[in-house]
Amino acid sequence: MLINCAAYKAGNRVADIDLKQANCIESAPGDFVWVGLHEPDAALLRTVQQRFGLHDLAVEDAHLAHQRPKLEAYGNSLFVVLRTAQLTEGKICWGETHIFAGPGYVVTVRHGSTTAYKAVRARCESAPKMLSMGESFVIYSVMDFIVDSYFPLLHELEGEVDALEDSVFSKDSARLDVERVFELRHDLLLMRRAVLPLQEVCNNLIRFDVTLIAPEMRAYFRDVQDHVIRVVENIDNLRELLKGALEANLLLASVQQNDVTKQLAAWAAILAVPTAIAGIYGMNFKNMPELEYPASYPIVLAVIVGLCVYLYHRFKRSGWL
């Protein structure tokens, strides 16, 4: 559950320390302890809370791990909730990341499906000048990593949406997989709910009057906000494409049904001719003079065939057949 616990001083990693000694690190500007946790239990969270003085409500949220993305300020410390997503066998698996940040410490808590933050930590340590800004740069790095991870996922979904859209107008392919379309629309809706609140989170990080956020980092959070806006726009575009594919599929199905109805109506009209004539001469009345003519049978057959051929050509010309 305890992935890492390291002390940083002036942008450089000093040493890996024990969690029991974390609160003994001198907290000068730019010096902090970064603790990484993965699905910790209540006992470990209580230990971390005692070391850094975390708020009870924030610790409770981090333990339950069923929160919407948000930013909360508790005095001079911040609590950030982020949603993570990974595409596994065509399905989106969700997770959560919670960030506790205050003077001299950053605690990241991962739950569910999410990538480990070794790459984030390595990237931070490779830029000591930026890391010397302290806790705010770590918050930015984690947020930027999570938001950027949405783009490959959206790219995969975009390819599937394009394939579904092509299948609507392709005569060689099978019917549109309506069930998959609704699954994708549901996944995109969940993703939108996970990403859209980050606009407000970034906006508050830019505007919050909290000394924890270095003024130099405001521009970086604006960049994250711009990425969030792009993700939301991409999600909305994909949802509109899926909506259009469904509408086009329904329209084509309606047109096809209308064509079938026309064909059935045309053939019914053609078959009505011999049916009507046969019905007239099948009434068995004695006084039907034309029945006595020797050529009456071939004449009736010729009339029936002539009328049927005439109706067939008329329907064919009008596009009903």
Higher pLDDT, 7 or 287: 7
The answer to whether residue 5 scores a pLDDT higher than 90 is no
Residue 279: the pLDDT is 85
pLDDT of residue 291: 75
Which residues, 6+ apart, have CB-to-CB distance to 99 below 8 Å?
78, 79, 80, 81, 82, 106, 107, 108, 109, 139, 142
Q: Which fold has domain 253-318?
A: Methane Monooxygenase Hydroxylase; Chain G, domain 1 (1.20.58)
**Model pLDDT, residue 93:** 86
Provide the pLDDT for residue 23.
Answer: 63
| Residues 92 and 85: beta-carbon distance below 8 Å | yes
Q: Which of 32-46, 150-164, 197-211, 222-236 has the highest mean pLDDT?
A: 222-236
Give residue 199's pLDDT: 92
The verdict on pTM exceeding 0.85 is no
Instruction: Tell me what pLDDT residue 140 has.
Output: 93
pLDDT score for 26: 55
Q: What's domain 2-252's superfamily in CATH?
A: CorA soluble domain-like (3.30.460.20)
Using the predicted structure, report yes or no on whether residue 175 has a pLDDT greater than 80: no
Stronger pLDDT, 167 or 122, i.e. the higher one: 122
Extents of the domains making up the chain: 2-252, 253-318
| Position 61 pLDDT exceeds 80 | yes
- Predicted confidence (pLDDT) at residue 59 exceeds the cutoff of 80: yes
Report which of residues 26 and 11 the model is more confident about.
Answer: 11
Query: pLDDT value at position 172?
Result: 57
Average predicted confidence (pLDDT) for the chain: 85
With a pLDDT cut of 90, the percent of the chain lying above it is: 21
Q: What is the structure's pLDDT at 171?
A: 64
Find out whether 222 and 87 touch, Cβ atoms under 8 Å: no
Q: Name which of 194-203, 239-248, 288-297 the model is least confident about.
A: 288-297
pLDDT at 139: 93
40 vs 23: which has the higher pLDDT: 40
Q: Distance between CA atoms of 321 and 312, rounded to whole angstroms?
A: 8
Phi, psi of 283 (to 5 degrees): -85, -10
In which band, very low, low, confident or very high, does the pLDDT at 290 lie, cut at 50, 70 and 90? confident
For residues 263 and 306, give the distance between their C-alpha atoms in angstroms, rounded to a whole number. Answer: 20
Give bridge partners of residue 156 from the DSSP assignment. Answer: none
Cβ-contact 104, 25 below 8 angstroms: yes
Q: 237-271 pLDDT, tens per residue?
A: 999 999 888 888 888 878 888 888 888 998 999 88
